[in-house]
Amino acid sequence: MPTPLTTVRRRAPRGRYDRAVVDAILDEGTVCHVALTSEGGPVVLPTGYVRIGDELVVHGAVANALMRQAADGRPLCIAVTLLDGLVLARSTFKHSMNYRSVVVFGRARVVEGDEKAAALARFVDHIAPGRSGEARAANDSELRATLVLAVRMDEVSAKVRTGPPLDDEDDLPLPVWAGVVPLGTVVGRPQPDPALSRDVRVPPSVERLVSRSGPAAPGGR
Amino acid sequence: MPTPLTTVRRRAPRGRYDRAVVDAILDEGTVCHVALTSEGGPVVLPTGYVRIGDELVVHGAVANALMRQAADGRPLCIAVTLLDGLVLARSTFKHSMNYRSVVVFGRARVVEGDEKAAALARFVDHIAPGRSGEARAANDSELRATLVLAVRMDEVSAKVRTGPPLDDEDDLPLPVWAGVVPLGTVVGRPQPDPALSRDVRVPPSVERLVSRSGPAAPGGR
């Protein structure tokens, strides 16, 4: 029963991946999982991120102990996973998933100054393109309360599974349905903040998010 | 800019969580992220899972080095994250996400014998309820090729963010749209394996998956 865990190749040497594939996955994802080793062992936590050039950028409160640990130069591992479908085979063993995933190994540098403010703007633009031009920018005290970390993608690998199940030839005559059930993300109707004044219209950033949405295409994503 | 990374509480003592909330998140999710510390540092990888009672069960090929490391009793950390919406605030800093996440700390035990075969059946039923009754069960050589690991949820925490953005009061008069853009998962039209005989119909497990799907409700998930 092959799964991502069994097949992701660890620490592919630089260049042993298609950077366009890596970037497309990172630019489509919304949440990453950041792992580090703390006193008691490994810790993995979900958080937002944005890719800026060759770096994956995450952020959190300065007050957060794990963020401070992540900032101290220790090794980090970050995964972004997009689930595209369930792969139903004739045998239990050959069930799988279609997915696209990226795993990055690296250490963080702390982002400061103008680059820090720019990174926070990129951060909101990653979840809603154009949003940084609509919202109030972070002020100095907000910037001071935030730790922005950039991890260079020196070691990165992408893994992609697509296509139908791969049953054993002996199983093909079984009268068992086999195929792929595609999965996708759908965007619901925007819910205005109850405190929002009625004369504030839905902005272009939100309109774009909604129009981008749709059910998984019959041919997959 | 609060994010899951800044707010997840690490190692909540047993009982400091609502087990019903934890189970509901784990039972709805499809992919988990498993972190362990390997020679070079932390590694995090996506994989399927199923909750069976008080344990989170993952599996992979016996031949997989990371699976064997995960099996040796070292500390593991596993996260399951469901993204429910994008939270757009009037200020860049207050942008956030609505999500439900669970983080489990534990060590794996190797699942063997009848329990192992049962776990693999539960595994396919987690992605498509009822599927284990349709597909051919794993045979002995397939079972031998698979490592099934169970991690008891002794240390587990759930974190949930719902609701509108929490802008500073000073920002409320800004003419900036604020609110939540709900996200959900949609199931596309099942794609039969090209090698499938035409007289094999879509089975109940797949019909249930498709009927379960739908766009994110206007009121959120």
- State the smallest CA–CA distance between residue A18 and chain B in angstroms: 19
Query: Quick check: is A114 in a domain?
Result: yes
Report whether pLDDT(A204) > 50: yes
Evaluate whether B73 touches B36 at the Cβ level (below 8 Å). no
pLDDT at A9 over 90: no
Q: What is the pLDDT of residues A127-182, one digit of tens each?
A: 999 999 999 999 999 999 999 999 999 899 999 999 999 999 999 999 999 999 99
Q: Is residue B50 part of a domain?
A: yes
* Cβ <8 Å between B177 and A206: yes
CA distance A28 to A84: 12
pLDDT number for residue B221:
36
| Residue B221 included in any domain | no
* Range 186-205 of B in CB contact (< 8 A) with A: 186-197, 199-203, 205
Write the CB contacts of A166 (distance below 8 Å, at least 6 apart in sequence): A89, A94, A96
pLDDT tier for residue A213 given thresholds of 50, 70 and 90: low
Amino acid at A173: P
Position B17 scores a pLDDT of 66
Minimum distance, in Å, between the CA of residue A31 and any CA atom of chain B = 8
- Chain B residues touching residue A137 (CB < 8 angstroms): 91-92
Between the CA atoms of A20, A23, A27 and A30, what dihedral angle is there, to the nearest 10 degrees? 130
Q: What is the pLDDT of residue A212?
A: 74
**Selected residues 158-187 of chain B with any CB under 8 Å from a CB in chain A:** 164-165, 167, 171-187
Q: Give the residue, A4 or B219, on which the prediction is more confident.
A: A4
Mean pLDDT (chain A, rounded): 89
Interchain CB distance below 8 Å, A177 and B187 = no
Smallest Cβ–Cβ distance between A77 and the set B41, B63, B89 belongs to: B41
Q: Which residues of chain B fall below pLDDT 70? A: 1-17, 213-221
Smallest CA–CA distance, residue B179 to chain A, in Å, is 4
User: For residue A212, with 0-12 CB atoms within 10 Å meaning exposed, 13-18 middle and 19 or more buried, which class applies?
Assistant: exposed
Task: Answer yes or no: do B176 and A134 touch at CB < 8 A.
Answer: yes
Q: Is residue A191 situated within a structural domain?
A: no
| d(CA A154, nearest CA chain B) in Å | 14
Determine whether the interchain pair A88/B186 forms a contact, defined as Cβ–Cβ distance below 8 Å: no
How many domains does chain B fold into?
1
What pTM did the predictor assign? 0.91
Question: In this structure, what CATH number is given to the domain that contains residue A120?
Answer: 2.30.110.10
Residue A118 lies in a domain: yes
What is the domain range of residue B142? 4-212
Residue B219 within a domain: no
Per-residue pLDDT at A216: 44
Cβ-in-10-Å burial (0-12, 13-18, 19+) of B140 comes to exposed
Residues of chain A found within 8 Å of residue B167, distances taken between Cβ atoms? 193, 195
CB contact under 8 A, B92 and A121: yes
Give the C-alpha separation, B136 to B148, whole Å: 18
A87: amino acid identity, one letter: V
- For an interface test with A, the pick among B88, B94, B171, B189 (most A C-beta atoms closer than 10 Å) comes out as B88
pLDDT, mean of residues A181-193:
96
| B12 to chain A, closest Cα gap in Å | 13
- The alpha-carbon radius of gyration of chain B (Å, integer) is 20
The pLDDT of residue B40: 86
A149: left (phi over 0), alpha (psi -120 to 50) or beta: beta
Report chain B residues whose CB lies below 8 A from the CB of A131.
88, 95
- Rounded CA gap, B95 and A123, in Å? 9
Between A14 and A158, residue with greater pLDDT: A158
How many angstroms separate the CA atoms of B210 and A183, rounded? 10
The interface predicted TM-score of the complex, written ipTM, equals: 0.90
* Chain A to chain B Cβ contacts (< 8 Å): 405
Interface of B with A in 33-62 (CB under 8 A): 33-38, 40-48, 58-61
In chain B, residues 94-133 whose CB comes closer than 8 Å to chain A: 95, 97, 99, 101, 103, 105, 120-121, 123-124, 127-128, 131-132
